[in-house]
């Protein structure tokens, strides 16, 4: 495998995907481009409505092990502000989560495998590519799995990979927990309106909401002390809106936030504790408080031990001392609908570190940037992981 000769095309592909981002479930051009690219290489494609693709080389069908690799296709509803020459030309839509890099890497990996197999016919595993739509809205994995992404035959391993901007050049794999459990909660506080001149006739929903915020703050402080094995977690409120008039006691406040935890048990305990706190505040203030979860939670998942060992060996080989085996404490408290794949088979989540010094814009930021020079290294590492399994 000679990765150098693919470097230019990796960059070209990445620029193409970056320039033409498409929102979740609308990845029409992206999907068509990928399909055409892969069919030319001899891949057989199963389209998954509306834009998903499952791709395999027919000549690898007789291999013993099925390894499944996921690449996400969707971009975000963000107006890009990078001023890059290949910045998004699609108004209000941007690849600000690295899926452009993922797609470029997956296509070149597919090309390398196809070319090798055509020449030597000895590629060791059956490799299946999943081009997943709508990862950002938590819709894609469900649809891919319903279409049998990990079946026929039962997959031996599931691989996923991201590019991160918070550290420069390297590769990171988490030992154990690899992604967190999260959900968005909405807390409604209902009081009773009255003119502030007749405060005794009202029940102030804003005051009760302040107690809720303080309780969440205290829960963050105390829970870890009371439960030393809780792992990383956070309960955070991102928005608060309440009241209509400056001189009227507010009868309704809405808080929106998230509960996040590396361990599902911690998540469940936090949700339970918060619910208990809300009931206490209800009693103290005379308000009615309701916590809702508009969506299903995104569950946590962990890297398989054996796959982690493989990744460690490959990481050391390709990245040397720039490979990092991270613990739970380094885990970012984010979630991924890929937990659904991890429930079906053993999995590995590899992170390629592609931060640019001085460009510290986080994922989903309009100025988010990645160092694309990581691309050939990442393809090499993925190739080696797959062929070592």
Interacting residues with a second copy (CB under 8 A): 184, 194-199, 204, 206-207, 209-211, 213-214, 217, 234, 236-250, 253, 256-258, 260, 332-334, 362-364
| Closer to a second copy by Cβ: residue 19 or 184 | 184
Cα 262 from Cα 224, distance rounded (Å):
12
Question: How many residues does this entry show for the chain?
Answer: 389
| Closer to a second copy by Cβ: residue 333 or 353 | 333
| Closer to a second copy by Cβ: residue 301 or 319 | 301
| Closer to a second copy by Cβ: residue 138 or 315 | 138
Is residue 174 part of an annotated ligand binding site?
Answer: no
Least Å from the CB of residue 371 to a second copy: 20
| Closer to a second copy by Cβ: residue 129 or 339 | 339
Is residue 272 part of an annotated ligand binding site?
Answer: no
The token pair at 84 is 């890059």
Handedness of CA 163, 169, 171, 172 (dihedral sign): negative
Q: Residues 145, 149, 152, 158: what is their CA dihedral angle, to the nearest 10 degrees?
A: -110
Least Å from the CB of residue 46 to a second copy: 34
Q: Contact at 8 Å (CB) between 301 and 146?
A: no
- Rounded to the nearest 10 degrees, the angle between the axes of helix 28-40 and helix 99-120 is 20
Q: Contact at 8 Å (CB) between 339 and 298?
A: yes
Least Å from the CB of residue 171 to a second copy: 20
What sections of the chain are H helices per DSSP? 7-19, 28-40, 99-120, 140-146, 205-226, 264-285, 305-319, 339-342, 375-388
Least Å from the CB of residue 7 to a second copy: 32
Who's near 245: CB < 8 A, 6+ residues apart? none
Least Å from the CB of residue 228 to a second copy: 20
Whole-angstrom CA distances from 168 to 311, 315, 326, 353 are: 19, 15, 15, 5
Question: HSE on the CB side for 155, CA within 13 Å?
Answer: 25
DSSP state of 125: S
Least Å from the CB of residue 200 to a second copy: 10
Cα 351 from Cα 162, distance rounded (Å):
5
| CA 182 from centroid of its chain's CA atoms | 11
| Closer to a second copy by Cβ: residue 251 or 304 | 251
Least Å from the CB of residue 298 to a second copy: 12
| Closer to a second copy by Cβ: residue 146 or 214 | 214
| Closer to a second copy by Cβ: residue 114 or 281 | 281
Is residue 197 part of an annotated ligand binding site?
Answer: no
Nearest to 55 by CA among 113, 142, 140: 113
Hey, which residues does 359 pair with through a beta bridge? 356
Least Å from the CB of residue 83 to a second copy: 21
Bind-site residues: 97, 99, 136, 162, 364
Bind-site residues for Mn(2+): 97, 99, 136, 162, 364
């Amino acid at each position: 495998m000679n990765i150098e000769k693919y470097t230019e095309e990796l960059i070209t592909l990445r620029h193409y995907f970056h320039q033409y981002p498409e929102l979740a479930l609308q990845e029409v051009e992206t999907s068509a481009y990928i399909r055409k690219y892969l069919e030319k290489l001899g891949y057989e494609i199963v389209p998954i409505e509306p834009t998903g693709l499952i791709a395999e080389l027919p000549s690898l069908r007789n291999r013993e092990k099925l390894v499944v690799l996921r690449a996400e296709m969707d971009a975000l509803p963000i107006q890009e502000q990078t001023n890059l020459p290949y910045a998004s030309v699609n108004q209000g839509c941007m690849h600000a989560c690295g899926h452009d890099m993922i797609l470029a890497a997956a296509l070149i990996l597919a090309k390398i495998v196809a070319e090798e197999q055509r020449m030597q016919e000895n590629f060791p595993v059956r490799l299946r590519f999943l081009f997943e739509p709508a990862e950002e809205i938590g819709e894609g994995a469900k649809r891919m799995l319903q279409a049998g992404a990990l079946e026929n035959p039962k997959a031996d391993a599931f691989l996923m990979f991201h590019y991160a901007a918070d550290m420069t050049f390297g590769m990171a794999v988490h030992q154990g927990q690899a992604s967190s459990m999260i959900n968005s909660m909405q807390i409604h506080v209902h009081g009773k309106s009255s003119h502030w001149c007749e405060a005794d006739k009202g029940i102030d929903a804003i005051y009760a909401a302040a107690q809720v915020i303080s309780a969440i703050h205290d829960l963050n402080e105390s829970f870890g002390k009371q439960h030393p094995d809780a792992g990383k977690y956070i309960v955070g409120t991102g928005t608060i809106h309440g009241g209509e008039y400056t001189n009227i006691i507010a009868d309704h406040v809405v808080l929106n936030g998230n509960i996040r935890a590396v361990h599902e048990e911690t998540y469940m305990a936090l949700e339970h504790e918060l619910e208990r706190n809300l009931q206490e505040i209800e009693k103290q203030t005379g308000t009615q408080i309701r916590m809702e979860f508009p969506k299903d939670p995104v569950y946590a998942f962990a890297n398989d031990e054996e796959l982690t060992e493989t990744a460690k060996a490959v990481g050391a080989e390709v990245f040397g001392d720039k490979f990092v085996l991270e613990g739970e404490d380094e885990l970012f408290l984010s979630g991924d609908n890929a937990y659904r794949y991890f429930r079906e088979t053993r999995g590995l989540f590899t992170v390629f570190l592609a931060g640019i010094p001085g460009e510290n814009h986080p994922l989903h930021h309009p100025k988010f940037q990645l160092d694309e020079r990581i691309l050939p290294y990442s393809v090499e590492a993925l190739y080696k992981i797959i062929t070592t399994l």
